[in-house]
């Protein structure tokens, strides 16, 4: 169930207010972006060193200072950081810090080169925009880190332009307009990425929690079913034994484990065992020979039970022997009952064994509600979700998955796509690899 207080986030920095949830999300964020972070730094190394070609064309007079900063300071730092990132445990623990430092080193190195070469206003604005956008989108920084480092680089740009480069007011205003516009786009992009990643995290968390609750409810229902089956087997064995021995019959009657009564032709209860007495909250003296069977039946079920009682005696056992109904005990509490009943051969008496299935019915209802909730989350998830058989046949798919693949509905997708390998995956061999991994797991 979605809890607004539990999943609330800071409106600006997108930090979960629940510390434990924030910790889970932070770890999940790092796991998702571990490979992308390495790719981002690798791309940064290529771009930073590759810009020497552009420097040689635009500012050949200061190429030596550019080379020193690019190839002997910034690029080695980024390269060493990239190598460290392949130490998975250290990288996961320090991912955000490492990414932050890489952006700062690249940005400060960029401003140092601009000062040494007296770079043009357009060149400085353009390259600063590249560093900013790289920080906001490629480096896998969470918004709470990318925003401060981005604003710091903007401040460094302003100081460089105004106090060190002595630009004209027209150049400053013109280039600031473009830089700040691109910075705003970068901020929005970083914010959106972190926000959507958080929504996806919440949805997956809810799905897993509902799945766990559903499994627990299902286990309870199975236990109730096993108990019911066991009781039925016990009753069948008991009925066979009754015919051979009155003494054995009486013992089983009292110790069968279910609420059991003998009902006369006029529906008077002539015998009641301890379980029935306990179920009704009365004593044997208050029940036997004094109370009628129909008095304990809920009003809505009474007409049906009266008909069964009559048919069972007049029409040779045409009434059902097993069915459910509701009883009301002396305290007014309603019990769901699974009844096994039959006429004792050679008499008009009935022997009835009542199993209280109130808890099982409640568990079944909770299971149904849990399934509906799980289905609602599945159907309304913004991420594409599907379930397949080990052979690759699609068993179920949600609306988001159908939208992603360009189909009008899940039914339309499943009518066209029969198997993952040939119909969806660009590389069918990967399907077998993924399937084997899941089976081994």
CA dihedral (301, 303, 304, 307) positive or negative: positive
Cβ-Cβ contacts under 8 Å for 352 (sequence gap 6 or more):
260, 261, 263, 293, 339, 340, 341
CB atoms within 10 A of CB 235: 21
Contact in structure between 326 and 356 (CB atoms under 8 Å): no
CA dihedral (45, 46, 48, 50) positive or negative: positive
Higher pLDDT among residues 297 and 3, named by residue? 297
Lowest mean pLDDT among 243-252, 334-343, 383-392, 413-422: 243-252
Question: H helices of 136-268, where?
Answer: 143-159, 169-242, 246-255
Q: How many degrees, rounded to 5, is the angle at CA 231 between CA 331 and CA 258?
A: 30
Pairing of strands 350-356, 259-263: antiparallel
User: What pLDDT was estimated at residue 244?
Assistant: 56
Average pLDDT over residues 103-116: 88
User: What pLDDT was estimated at residue 440?
Assistant: 67
* Residue with token string 């571990």: 34
Domain 255-358 = CATH 3.40.50.300: no
0.75 exceeded by pTM: no
The angle, 0 to 180 degrees and rounded to 10, between the axes of the packed helices 358-380 and 169-242 is 150
Residues of 429-440 as b/e, b for ≥16 C-beta within 10 angstroms?
eebeeebeeeee
User: What pLDDT was estimated at residue 155?
Assistant: 92
Contact in structure between 382 and 200 (CB atoms under 8 Å): yes
Share of the chain above pLDDT 70, in %: 93
pLDDT band at 1; cut points 50, 70, 90: low
> Does the pLDDT at position 66 exceed 70?
yes
pLDDT band at 242; cut points 50, 70, 90: low
Residue of 305, 338, 340 whose CA lies nearest to 321: 340
> Does the pLDDT at position 436 exceed 80?
no
Report pLDDT digits (tens) over 329-385: 888 888 888 888 888 877 888 888 888 888 888 888 888 888 888 888 888 888 888
User: What pLDDT was estimated at residue 149?
Assistant: 92
Q: Which helix (H) or strand (E) holds 383?
A: none
CA dihedral (408, 411, 415, 419) positive or negative: positive
Average pLDDT over residues 88-114: 89
Cβ-Cβ contacts under 8 Å for 267 (sequence gap 6 or more):
292, 293, 294, 309
Average pLDDT, the chain: 83
User: What pLDDT was estimated at residue 147?
Assistant: 92
User: What pLDDT was estimated at residue 247?
Assistant: 61
User: What pLDDT was estimated at residue 104?
Assistant: 92
User: What pLDDT was estimated at residue 2?
Assistant: 57
> Does the pLDDT at position 42 exceed 70?
yes
CA dihedral (87, 91, 97, 99) positive or negative: positive
> Does the pLDDT at position 198 exceed 70?
yes
Report pLDDT digits (tens) over 3-40: 677 788 888 888 888 888 888 888 888 888 888 888 98
> Does the pLDDT at position 151 exceed 90?
yes
If phi > 0 it is left, if psi is from -120 to 50 it is alpha, else beta; for residue 355 that is: beta
Could you tell me the residue ranges of all domains in the chain? 19-204, 255-358, 384-440
Average pLDDT over residues 415-429: 73
Structure tokens at 386: 């599907």
> Does the pLDDT at position 133 exceed 70?
yes
Contact in structure between 147 and 190 (CB atoms under 8 Å): yes
Average pLDDT over residues 218-229: 85
User: What pLDDT was estimated at residue 80?
Assistant: 93
**Measured between alpha carbons, how far is 352 from 250 in angstroms, rounded to an integer?**
14
């Amino acid at each position: 169930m979605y809890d607004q207080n539990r999943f609330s986030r800071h409106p600006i920095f997108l930090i979960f207010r629940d510390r434990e949830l924030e910790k889970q999300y932070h770890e999940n964020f790092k796991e998702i972006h571990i490979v992308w972070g390495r790719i981002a730094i690798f791309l940064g190394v290529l771009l930073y060193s590759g810009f020497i070609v552009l420097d040689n064309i635009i500012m050949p007079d200061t190429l030596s200072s550019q080379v020193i900063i690019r190839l002997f300071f910034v690029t080695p730092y980024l390269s060493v950081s990239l190598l460290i990132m392949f130490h998975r445990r250290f990288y996961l623990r320090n991912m955000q810090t490492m990414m932050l430092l890489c952006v700062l080193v690249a940005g400060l190195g960029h401003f140092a080169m601009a000062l040494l070469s007296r770079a043009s206003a357009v060149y400085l604005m353009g390259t600063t925009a590249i560093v900013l956008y790289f920080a906001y989108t490629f480096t896998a920084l969470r918004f709470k880190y990318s925003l401060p480092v981005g604003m710091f680089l903007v401040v460094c740009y302003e100081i460089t332009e105004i106090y060190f480069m002595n630009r004209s007011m027209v150049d400053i205003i013109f280039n600031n307009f473009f830089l700040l516009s691109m910075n705003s786009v970068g901020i929005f992009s970083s914010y959106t990425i972190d926000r959507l990643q958080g929504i996806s995290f919440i949805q997956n968390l809810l799905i897993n929690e509902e799945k766990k609750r559903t499994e627990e409810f299902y286990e309870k229902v199975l236990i109730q079913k096993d108990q019911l089956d066991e009781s039925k087997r016990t009753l069948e064995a008991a009925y066979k034994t009754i015919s051979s021995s009155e003494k054995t019959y009486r013992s089983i009657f009292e110790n069968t484990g279910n609420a059991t009564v003998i009902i006369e032709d006029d529906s008077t209860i002539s015998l009641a065992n301890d379980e029935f007495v306990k179920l009704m909250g009365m004593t044997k003296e208050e029940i036997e020979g004094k109370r009628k069977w129909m008095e304990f039946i809920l009003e809505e079920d009474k007409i049906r039970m009266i008909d069964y009682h009559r048919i069972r005696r007049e029409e040779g056992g045409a009434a059902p022997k097993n069915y459910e109904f509701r009883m009301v005990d002396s305290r007014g509490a309603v019990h769901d009952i699974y009844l096994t009943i039959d006429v004792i051969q050679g008499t008009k008496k009935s022997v009835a064994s009542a199993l209280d299935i109130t808890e099982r019915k409640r568990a079944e209802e909770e299971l149904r509600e849990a399934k509906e909730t799980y289905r609602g989350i599945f159907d309304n998830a913004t991420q594409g979700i599907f379930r397949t058989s080990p052979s690759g046949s699609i068993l179920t798919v949600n609306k988001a998955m159908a939208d992603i693949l360009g189909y009008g509905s899940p039914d339309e997708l499943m009518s066209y796509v029969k198997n993952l390998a040939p119909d969806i995956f660009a590389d069918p061999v990967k399907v077998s690899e993924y399937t084997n991994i899941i089976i081994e797991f």
